[in-house]
Amino acid sequence: MGKEIERKFRVRDDRWREGVHGVHYRQGYLQSERERTVRVRLAGDAGWLTIKGETRGVTRSEFEYPIPAEDATALLDELCDRPQIEKYRYRIEHDGHVWEVDEFLGDNAGLVVAEIELASADERFSRPPWLGDEVSDDPRYFNANLVRHPWRDWSENA
């Protein structure tokens, strides 16, 4: 069984942008419930189908499979819930770890978060200087929730 151990943070400033190039992501959900999500993603020209279980702490079950880009596009266009998530993802190496910084577009424009995948929930890592507050325990920041409750509608952002 696949496991994802992930910590998520707000991004404090733009220092992370130096020398990075992003990949455009489009993703939608075939099913989005607390207990499970089924996601279709088009990352650049690569298609993916991902099934995730309920998050417990910073860990959840994850099964991810490559699919043809044409199939991903058809699923996104024809079967996935609306609205969908669009973002640019940037991969940044820092002190032996890879951080993925997501810069959201559309209804979530202005939101920038960074994620790090770990081998264990208690694995140590150093924080890049541009990293802000941790939001791993805040379900509002889950991509599936950003579809239903976009960042632009949060009262503190209005």
Kindly list the catalytic residues: 29
* Residue 76 neighbours by CB under 8 Å, 6+ apart: 26, 27, 28, 40, 42, 84
* Residue 74 neighbours by CB under 8 Å, 6+ apart: none
Q: Hey, what are 96's tokens? A: 């032996």
Cross-strand partners of 27: 41, 85
